[in-house]
Amino acid sequence: STKSMLIRSLFSYFHSTTKYGIFTFLPRFLYEQIRRAANAFFLFIALMQQIPDVSPTGRYTTLVPLIFILTVAGIKEIIEDYKRHKADNTVNKKKTTVLRNGAWQTIIWKQVAVGDIVKVTNGQHLPADMVIVSSSEPQAMCYTETSNLDGETNLKIRQGHSLTASVQSVEELMGLAGRLECEGPNRHLYDFTGTLRLDNHNPVPLGPDQVLLRGAQIRNTQWVVGIVVYTGHDSKLMQNSTKAPLKRSNVERVTNMQILVLFCILLVMALVSSIGAAIWNKQHTDEACWYLSRDISLNFWYNLLTFIILYNNLIPISLLVTLEVVKFTQALFINWDMEMYYSETDTPAMARTSNLNEELGQVKYLFSDKTGTLTCNVMHFKKCTIAGITYGNLPSSSNNSTEFDDPALIQNIEKNHPTSPQICEFLTMMAVCHTVVPEREEDQIIYQASSPDEGALVKGAKSLGFVFTARTPHSVIIEAVSLFSYPDVCVWPLAPAMGVGATRATLIAHCSSLGDSLGKENELALIIDGQTLKYALSFEVRQAFLDLALSCKAVICCRVSPLQKSEIVDMVKKHVKAITLAIGDGANDVGMIQTAHVGVGISGNEGMQATNSSDYSIAQFSYLEKLLLVHGAWSYNRVTKCILYCFYKNVVLYIIELWFAFVNGFSGQILFERWCIGLYNVIFTALPPFTLGIFDRPCSQQNMLRFPQLYRITQNADGFNTKVMYVVVTVCLKAGMETTAWTRFSHLAVWGSMVLWMLFFAVYSVIWPHIPIAPDMLGQAGRVMQCWSFWLGLILVPAACLLKDVAWNARTVRKSLLEEVQELEARAVDPGAAVLRDASGRSLNERAHLLTRVFRKTPSSVGRSNSVQQTVSHGYAFSQEEHGVVSQSQVVRSYDTTRQRPSL
């Protein structure tokens, strides 16, 4: 067997993008849960209840529900993380070919070890970082696509050392002997330092141009053989990966603040009750209250703790488990949405976490990658202008077809139009000025291009009769209508990047010119390149750059690094009080996806690294509109109503408990029977918040998409903030009044809960002594039902409590945009027929019409323009020099496609 050139790794390859592991789940999960103020509070109450004779509600009335809530939350997190494990397992179980025991063997990726000789064929992804030994291409060259690493789809050229370029057969590979020395694992994608020491040869240095990185894809190369140097978490891809952050939504942070406010109210209530107990105990002797002697405590602090435990459910313990179920169901709605399902690749939308559903409804700043995310990395030759005449703009099929469709161009060649020589010269340049390599599969020619635009132009020339057929070291061969010589093409020097001084001066000048408009949205766009952005993000001018950027309607950053993408998002996230969303489809977008409040990955042509690191994944950029305007806005509306209702129903219940303390001598007695209190949250008032959180919606999805102004309501958090904070029959009716979309589930929840309470009350009053619980409830239902004051109160109390809400909902003036749309929907009237105006006073119909025109494909005019368009070309926009070990000229002269390539 061959001598190992490296010490084999003790760790097998393993790729992981999950939040939890077997040993890290419990501490990481508990840390995330205890960060929630409600969970921390109830943990404190549960511990206090274990003190003997302190809790008036028993020792386990808080501990058991808390354990149940944490269990439900844990199951949800396990399910969501299991999906991530499945995605990772798909990667880990990919197959590759290694040379072991004198033969090529197929193994899975995680079995690849350092020192293995691996063979990768065209189209396959690399299972580990490896040094090139040889390839099917001349001079051990190969093409690699690194979109999984840096998001770039243009192919990069890598070349093995000439010392091993001829080592291709199994026998030759088995005969290799020596060692390979390299630097330790690091995250620098474009750096590598190593030395190859083969027996009977002088040592040769190795650099990044001899290394293929894990996750990259072999393209335009039949096969390549390499020696593995880094596997698993040592590979540069995994070195650049970060653990999924624990994100919290803005609504959750506001909820935590409200819980703290309620906790302060609880302390005030407990303090008032303790002071009242001290006063009452001082004024009454033991002889006057002999029947309470066992239950009275004269210790102020003991009483304070008792009342804190008594009033603890002022903070709704059922809120957290309700939200977990509601958010999980909302995530399922996103996954099941067929309008966000991409049938061509069988890819549905996926909510990889449900904790941020409502955050989708509050996004104010959107950061989007351009290449791939907006263009899908798909290029088609559709139009061109030759000698002042535009071709390819027919209004019929050209807008929908992926091919150039204009017979006039060929007709002008055949009929010897005055511009015929220019047309032939144009098409000839398209067919020969590139680095595309043609490959034949049976009778078809397959073009292997280093970028989508190169391929599109060569295919476009082919469809017009100028077919690129072969390449040799000194020529290219095309079959064409006619050939003309073509002029030399000169390259566009790039202007040098501005220094920090010039950047500061430019930013300050722009900020000054805006005057009072600085910081407000203007009809301006800011365009900045990566080199200048390096200075703009420096400490000295960062604030000026941020002020200028926030004053523009759009900011375009060109040629920026993954780190710069993340820094821009982080700058806005930290200095602007607004929710940010980042969307991309490549591994170079992972940083900004994880930095933003919400990260969305697109499962496109650049691998799965972005989607595996995202919070939500979609298959097409256009699906983002519905994800935000519909699912985001609905989720925000549902979650906030659910939270507010849970607060409302518990405040109503425990204000009564406080009132009862004033008439029972502040003795800490409970007004409601324990099981009644427990079932109040679990059964009697459980369904309304679920229906609010799952089925309610402000208006239909058609109108949510039609009128984007409705998104501002959730975007500005108008329905949920610290200013919005304000028994069974009352709270159920309140839930009904908050419901805007009445469904069968809403009716069942509201009216069914009331009926359920009555039935429970009747049964619960007769079960003792047949069932040994609640002896103090025996016969109460019969007495209460016969009392006229009960029925009068059942009508008057809810009516009095909800009078303000009824009056507010019945008002006819100063209705908001959402309320007008809701009213018109209820009357089955098209909201577009009403003259609704936005904050700027512009008619909503006009605004919607303009938006429709913006997103609609503009049909081209039937006639062609004969005017010469002023365009300037300074070289190839589609063939860029890599400045690597192999130049472009050397590459195109290394191929002779008329000869058969070596097989392995």
At 414-433, the pLDDT tens digits run: 888 999 999 999 999 999 88
* Structure confidence by residue, pLDDT tens digits, 348-366: 999 988 889 999 999 999 9
Q: Is the pLDDT of residue 724 over 80?
A: no
Clarify whether 346 is annotated catalytic. Answer: no
Q: Is the pLDDT of residue 8 over 50?
A: no
Question: Higher-confidence residue: 484 or 178?
Answer: 178
Are 541 and 504 in contact by the 8 Å Cβ rule? The answer is yes
Average pLDDT of the chain, as a whole number: 78
Binding site members for ATP: 369-371, 454, 559, 565, 588-589
Residues near 732 by beta carbon (within 8 Å), at least 6 away in sequence: 685, 688, 749, 750, 751, 753, 754
Are 420 and 413 in contact by the 8 Å Cβ rule? The answer is yes
**Among 395-404, 450-459, 595-604, 714-723, the least confident range:** 395-404
pLDDT > 70 fraction of the chain, expressed in percent and rounded: 79
**Among 77-81, 318-322, 695-699, 726-730, the least confident range:** 726-730
Mean pLDDT across the stretch 626-642? 93
What the block records as the tokens of 347 is: 């890819």
Q: Which of the four pLDDT bands, split at 50, 70 and 90, describes residue 186? A: confident
Structural element, H or E, at residue 526? strand 522-529
d(CA 430, CA 362) in angstroms, rounded, equals 47
Query: How does DSSP assign 526-541, residue by residue?
Result: EEEEHHHHHHHTSTTT
Q: Is the pLDDT of residue 176 over 80?
A: yes
Beta pairing class for 217-219 and 223-230: unpaired
Tell me, rounded to whole angstroms, the distance of Cα 608 from its chain centroid: 13
Structural element, H or E, at residue 37? helix 37-48
d(CA 146, CA 212) in angstroms, rounded, equals 9
Q: What's the pLDDT score for residue 497? A: 52
CATH of domain 101-240: 2.70.150.10
* Structure confidence by residue, pLDDT tens digits, 878-904: 334 444 556 666 666 677 777 776 777
Binding site members: 369-371, 454, 559, 565, 585, 588-589
Q: Which of the four pLDDT bands, split at 50, 70 and 90, describes residue 598? A: very high
Question: Higher-confidence residue: 562 or 292?
Answer: 562
Mean pLDDT across the stretch 207-215? 91
Q: What's the pLDDT score for residue 874? A: 30
What the block records as the tokens of 618 is: 């979609």
The residue type of 700 is: S
Query: How does DSSP assign 293-322, residue by residue?
Result: TTT----HHHHHHHHHHHTGGGS-THHHHH
pLDDT > 90 fraction of the chain, expressed in percent and rounded: 22
Q: For the chain, give percent helix, strand, coil, nearest 5.
A: 45, 15, 40
Are 69 and 321 in contact by the 8 Å Cβ rule? The answer is yes
Q: What's the pLDDT score for residue 710? A: 86
d(CA 728, CA 759) in angstroms, rounded, equals 13
d(CA 471, CA 481) in angstroms, rounded, equals 19
d(CA 56, CA 840) in angstroms, rounded, equals 58
Provide the residue ranges of all domains of the chain, joining segments of one domain with +. Answer: 101-240, 384-394+403-480, 502-577, 787-839
What the block records as the tokens of 345 is: 């690749």
The active-site residue, picked from 209, 337, 369, 453, is 369
Q: What are phi and psi of 318, to 5 degrees?
A: -80, -10
Single pTM value for the model: 0.71
Q: Which of the four pLDDT bands, split at 50, 70 and 90, describes residue 837? A: low
Q: What's the pLDDT score for residue 861? A: 33
Mean pLDDT across the stretch 311-325? 82
Q: What's the pLDDT score for residue 787? A: 81
Q: What's the pLDDT score for residue 453? A: 81
* Structure confidence by residue, pLDDT tens digits, 665-714: 887 777 777 667 767 777 777 788 888 888 888 888 888 888 888 898 88
Q: Is the pLDDT of residue 857 over 50?
A: no
Strand order in the sheet with 350-351: 350-351, 616-618, 598-602, 579-584, 363-368
Q: What's the pLDDT score for residue 625? A: 94
* Structure confidence by residue, pLDDT tens digits, 471-486: 887 788 888 755 444 4
Binding site members for Mg(2+): 369, 371, 585, 589
Say whether 10 sits in a helix, a strand or coil: coil
Alpha helices, DSSP H only, in 191-249?
A: 236-239
Q: What's the pLDDT score for residue 723? A: 54
Q: What are phi and psi of 842, to 5 degrees?
A: -75, 140
d(CA 898, CA 896) in angstroms, rounded, equals 5
Whole-angstrom distance between the N-terminal and C-terminal Cα of the chain? Answer: 19
